Amino acid sequence: MSILPFTPPIVKRLLGWKKGEQNGQEEKWCEKAVKSLVKKLKKTGQLDELEKAITTQNINTKCITIPRSLDGRLQVSHRKGLPHVIYCRLWRWPDLQSHHELRAMELCEFAFHMKKDEVCVNPYHYQRVETPVLPPVLVPRHTEIPSEFPPLDDYSHSIPENTNFPAGIEPQSNYIPETPPPGYLSEDGETSDHQMNHSMDTGSPNLSPNPVSPTHSSLDLQPVTYCEPAFWCSISYYELNQRVGETFHASQPSLTVDGFTDPSNSERFCLGLLSNVNRNAAVELTRRHIGRGVRLYYIGGEVFAECLSDSAIFVQSPNCNQRYGWHPATVCKIPPGCNLKIFNNQEFAALLAQSVNQGFEAVYQLTRMCTIRMSFVKGWGAEYRRQTVTSTPCWIELHLNGPLQWLDKVLTQMGSPSIRLQGNANQPASAPRCAALSAHEGRLCSEGLQAKEGPATCRQSREPPRSPTHCLSRAR
């Protein structure tokens, strides 16, 4: 390990404990990060405590604090990052990607999420959030295969109900108790451990798999496991009833959908880049107010949406709605600075295990839970002039690829039927068997929603398609 000249002995000792291998430039940056920390801690007499924590790897060491900057980040040699992430990556987890992967220990009095004037950078006062392992679903192979897909629950003739966040939540539901300071949130989008642990988290139904029907012997059962896909979600952008631009495939656990123009950032879907010759004045005005938009992050098997915009966002998540006993089509308003858990893998796994015992149709119905719709600035539903999402100027649709692919495997194991389509002789006679296989294909719904690839047909030419991937625009 090459050390720059005149490196103090304490810095050399601390660098000796760093994890992972770095190239020359990264090595120099790590040394500068340690030097910066040592300089700060010398002034407060905490240097011995840092060395004790690093060498003993003991969580019972004291908090090691540095002053919090205005935006919460620490700059080291023209590179900015969150201080606890920098030092946790240096001394514990070199593959650490995001602050969302860290959770403070209860004993930490100056944890980053507390937003105190001092922030603890003791790497042993933080633990890594582990994604829970989902148990495989035991699926019986049925000998009698349905002749066609059953229809998904159709709420197209009902107007979605509306609820407000956090006002629409019962007091015991531990929603986010405070909004972080604007400067802090605007730079980092950080959510507290309290948010990560408890935001919208109580009130969840007590879900557990039902015992397998005695009509199926153990020899008939096959375990179907959940696998994380390379892209955890796919996002399409719409203006009124028209899809605009290409689908964005999210590979990073944290991403933003905003109104700006960065063309090449894997952590940003920038709507400001997208053109539409049919764009009207109302859409133009709404696009100007998207601003910093929404942050979506997937951590520990949960998906959160955080409103970074100065205007509210409106979310229709069947998974979230079921958690709180709302109508599946309910639209929830999320004000600026708040976040909402919009999907939970463990809840979905329990529902899937229950549904398998109820048959193919029950499993198929879970498809609608894997699509989430979100409108910027303008809401829709019973309390709004716009009663369908395709009446809102700017909105996005998320497909959760992991759950969709899991459903695909389960439905395939149960026996995949074919569909005879009617209404358009130019369309193929059979549809893709499930959402995971056609999540990015064109579709035509009851609102006239069309994708670039062209419309799909359904059993009745005037009805929306009922394949798992096709939208229920009034229902969500």
pLDDT tens, position by position, 213-237: 444 444 478 899 999 999 999 999 9
Measured CA to CA, the distance from residue 474 to residue 469 in angstroms comes to 15
Of the CATH numbers 2.60.200.10, 1.10.10.10, 2.60.120.10, 1.10.10.60, which one belongs to the domain with range 137-417?
A: 2.60.200.10
Model-wide pTM > 0.85: no
Q: Does the pLDDT value for residue 199 go beyond 60?
A: no
Picking from 336, 334, 337, 408, the residue whose alpha carbon sits closest to that of residue 372 is 334
pLDDT score of 190: 35
Confidence of residue 152 (pLDDT cuts 50, 70, 90): low
Q: Does the pLDDT value for residue 9 go beyond 80?
A: yes
Neighbours of 143 (CB within 10 A): 7
Picking from 290, 289, 297, 410, the residue whose alpha carbon sits closest to that of residue 348 is 410
Phi, psi for residue 210 in degrees, rounded to 5:
-75, 150
pLDDT score of 264: 83
Picking from 160, 396, 152, the residue whose alpha carbon sits closest to that of residue 295 is 396
421, 457 Cβ separation under 8 angstroms: yes
- The chain-wide mean pLDDT, for the chain, equals 76
Confidence of residue 293 (pLDDT cuts 50, 70, 90): very high
pLDDT score of 53: 94
pLDDT score of 455: 28
C-alpha distance across the termini of the chain, in Å = 56
**What are 63's two structure tokens?**
């908090």
pLDDT score of 148: 53
pLDDT digits (tens, 9 = 90+) for 34-58: 999 999 999 999 999 999 999 999 9
121, 37 Cβ separation under 8 angstroms: yes
pLDDT score of 151: 53
- Which has more confidence, 150 or 316? 316
pLDDT digits (tens, 9 = 90+) for 111-120: 998 889 999 9
Measured CA to CA, the distance from residue 47 to residue 64 in angstroms comes to 8
Same fold, 9-128 and 137-417: no
Distance of CA 135 to the CA centre of its chain: 21
Cis peptide before 464 (omega within 30 of 0): no
SS3 230: coil
407, 349 Cβ separation under 8 angstroms: no
pLDDT score of 454: 31
pLDDT score of 158: 64
Q: Does the pLDDT value for residue 474 go beyond 50?
A: no
Picking from 100, 76, 70, the residue whose alpha carbon sits closest to that of residue 25 is 76
Q: Does the pLDDT value for residue 286 go beyond 80?
A: yes
Measured CA to CA, the distance from residue 294 to residue 334 in angstroms comes to 10
Q: Does the pLDDT value for residue 179 go beyond 50?
A: no
pLDDT score of 96: 83
Measured CA to CA, the distance from residue 435 to residue 412 in angstroms comes to 12
Phi, psi for residue 299 in degrees, rounded to 5:
-145, 135
DSSP E strand boundaries for 137-267: 137-140, 162-164, 221-224, 233-239, 242-250, 254-258
Domain boundaries, the chain: 9-128, 137-417
Confidence of residue 252 (pLDDT cuts 50, 70, 90): confident
pLDDT digits (tens, 9 = 90+) for 417-466: 444 323 333 333 333 333 333 333 333 233 333 333 332 222 222 233 33
Picking from 299, 297, 329, the residue whose alpha carbon sits closest to that of residue 314 is 329
Residue 187 belongs to what H/E stretch?
Answer: helix 182-188
Measured CA to CA, the distance from residue 420 to residue 412 in angstroms comes to 18
pLDDT digits (tens, 9 = 90+) for 330-375: 999 999 988 899 999 999 999 999 999 888 888 999 999 999 999 9
Of the CATH numbers 2.30.130.60, 3.40.50.720, 3.90.520.10, 3.20.20.70, which one belongs to the domain with range 9-128?
A: 3.90.520.10
Q: Does the pLDDT value for residue 138 go beyond 90?
A: no
R_g over Cα of the chain: 25
Phi, psi for residue 70 in degrees, rounded to 5:
-60, -40
Paired with 295 in beta bridges are 256, 306
**What are 90's two structure tokens?**
């240096």
Q: Does the pLDDT value for residue 137 go beyond 70?
A: yes
